[in-house]
Structure 1
């Protein structure tokens, strides 16, 4: 199959060509010590998923140094070996990792740490350049101007092609963009999570010509239709720590999921495909995560689905803006989000 099956577009206004849909790789590895994010991962299957993505034109891989730490970047290096130029690699830094490879879970956006982090990611990815380099979370102790200036230096040095931010406010985006053009902002966004709309962040991105990369477009798995009760999550699944997946809130959310699933069934598609088609209809780049080729193919097929205005209105009426779905992270992680 050719690279043109799912189409290409320019992300933001600065020239980075990307496929219509990307591949989130976080779930392909667990964390050191044995914790798997979304259940057990199989490296052979994960690598075959990355190879299948390339065959179907989905050549944008999204990762981060903190996933593992480093295990995810290293897996990608093995998968793309000999084919680096055919992939677009996006990775993130900011969660501090010490010299022993241990996560401190502090955010570090200092100039010195930017330079240290990029060298480690280049080494672990087995490449001499990163296509899109994001600040994973805002460092509240370091002015965003300092961080972005250091990231811009990496572009001038040829180590990074474009720069982005993740989970940041409109004010931070404006300040960063004055230092160097920001190509993309990555935020959680789905029919299940639209807080960046109510915060005015999407309006800011459109005004400045910055692309939105939507992670968790399947609502952390809610919109797959595979979660019907709390016991569907394994004991070490990190979603068990999210208020959105706990107790009475989970039951309320599943009522909404059943309505979305019913709508998808009427249209002869899966709820995942409906959710992805909605993000695409909004004009954004979804990066659903999967570690299995069959789900990848299902997700990519969603790029051919056209939703009418009536479809979009119906879907959004199931979960109107402002619906209380529960916090999407625990309290400590919510504090790291700049909104």
Structure 2
């Protein structure tokens, strides 16, 4: 698989693997099945895993730690801190304080079973705390060898610049896809200017862009059922976007998922999408995106089609929007 570099020195596979759904939010979990998918991902050339302490909470890091003990393939692991939530609750608070960052980092190191975290993200930015204070605290963790690099999630361009002035930011992780293009306005250009990597999460629109989940049928525990874009009227309107993706994919001889990922890969060499899955068939489908080449004409056609199909509904509920574009 093609390799890409985030920041100055984090070399990873061009596609990573988002592991959140292996623990919660997307229906029941099955650790044995998820471990098989993780091993398959390594066999297919994926060496960049994305997790967070709040997935589970804690279960996802423990699962990744178990996988790391089983595999002989060198892996790069990104994890996150800053969202505080109790098990079984979606409601959460934010804490980016240096003391909490240290406590959270120690917990992640223990659960992952590693001596140093390759990329440590601020999961959501705490509104009333200066980002400079947070970055200063994280820089101490870098100097102590507990983390190798710092990342930020869902930040504004202004916050990114302020953070980067204190300590180098290796990557920004934000939702970015054919139906979530907000980063193109300011954040992506800022990343390219400053030499910062960009990691799109939910690159397949949480499955909607692949043609799935358009009928409102979800397994118990799947949080997509509560998201505005998946509600009846919005889903009906957004189906036009999924139909556009399907039509273009048919023209290119690939699947809708591969087209959506290939489009992201074409947006810049500093971009590494992290599609999440806990199923082998979707993993193999996603990896095939690396072989899909989109021409300038293809990209222009996609842009023109999307311009005629505005997205209906917000990305998250009000609770989920806490810390977004902060």
How would you bin the TM-score normalised by the shorter chain? over 0.9
Q: CA deviation at 1:336?
A: 2.1
Deviations 1:48-77 (CA, angstroms, capped at 9, x unpaired) = 111111111101000000000000000111
User: Residue 262 of structure 1 corresponds to which residue in structure 2?
Assistant: 247
Deviations 1:259-289 (CA, angstroms, capped at 9, x unpaired) = 2112212222110000000000112110000
Q: CA deviation at 1:227?
A: 2.3
Contact 1:96 1:108 (8 Å CA) reproduced: yes
Q: In 1, distance between residues paired with 2:309 and 2:152?
A: 25
Q: Is structure 2 residue 191 aligned with structure 1 residue 205?
A: yes
Q: In 1, distance between residues paired with 2:85 and 2:226?
A: 22
Q: In 2, distance between residues paired with 1:113 and 1:62?
A: 21
User: Residue 94 of structure 1 corresponds to which residue in structure 2?
Assistant: 82
Counterparts of residues 228-267 of structure 1 (less than 5 Å): 228-231=214-217, 233-267=218-252
3-state SS of 2:77 partner: strand
Q: In 2, distance between residues paired with 1:196 and 1:313?
A: 18
Q: Is structure 2 residue 3 aligned with structure 1 residue 8?
A: yes
Contact 2:240 2:309 (8 Å CA) reproduced: no
- Inter-CA distance 261–309: structure 2 relative to 1 (3 Å threshold): same
Q: In 1, distance between residues paired with 2:215 and 2:64?
A: 33
- Inter-CA distance 178–123: structure 2 relative to 1 (3 Å threshold): same
Q: In 2, distance between residues paired with 1:239 and 1:104?
A: 16
- Inter-CA distance 143–51: structure 2 relative to 1 (3 Å threshold): same
Q: CA RMSD in A?
A: 1.9
3-state SS of 2:320 partner: helix
User: Residue 48 of structure 2 corresponds to which residue in structure 1?
Assistant: 60
Q: CA deviation at 1:17?
A: 0.7
Contact 2:28 2:221 (8 Å CA) reproduced: no
Structure 2 runs not aligned, ≥5 long: none
Q: CA deviation at 1:114?
A: 0.6
Contact 1:66 1:103 (8 Å CA) reproduced: no
- Inter-CA distance 101–150: structure 2 relative to 1 (3 Å threshold): farther
3-state SS of 1:230 partner: coil
Q: CA deviation at 1:150?
A: 1.0
User: Residue 68 of structure 2 corresponds to which residue in structure 1?
Assistant: 80
Q: In 1, distance between residues paired with 2:298 and 2:161?
A: 34
3-state SS of 1:168 partner: coil
3-state SS of 2:314 partner: coil
TM normalised by structure 1 equals 0.91
Q: CA deviation at 1:97?
A: 4.9
- Comparing 177-186 with 310-319, greater Cα deviation is found at 310-319
Q: CA deviation at 1:335?
A: 3.4
3-state SS of 1:227 partner: coil
TM normalised by structure 2 equals 0.95
User: Residue 224 of structure 1 corresponds to which residue in structure 2?
Assistant: 210
Q: CA deviation at 1:234?
A: 2.5
Structure 1 runs not aligned, ≥5 long: 1-5, 31-36
- Inter-CA distance 97–117: structure 2 relative to 1 (3 Å threshold): farther
Contact 2:179 2:311 (8 Å CA) reproduced: no
Deviations 1:62-93 (CA, angstroms, capped at 9, x unpaired) = 00000000000001111110547711000000
Q: In 2, distance between residues paired with 1:26 and 1:221?
A: 14
3-state SS of 2:108 partner: helix
User: Residue 13 of structure 2 corresponds to which residue in structure 1?
Assistant: 19
User: Residue 29 of structure 2 corresponds to which residue in structure 1?
Assistant: 41
Q: Is structure 2 residue 114 aligned with structure 1 residue 120?
A: no
Counterparts of residues 108-147 of structure 1 (less than 5 Å): 108-147=95-134
User: Residue 33 of structure 1 corresponds to which residue in structure 2?
Assistant: none
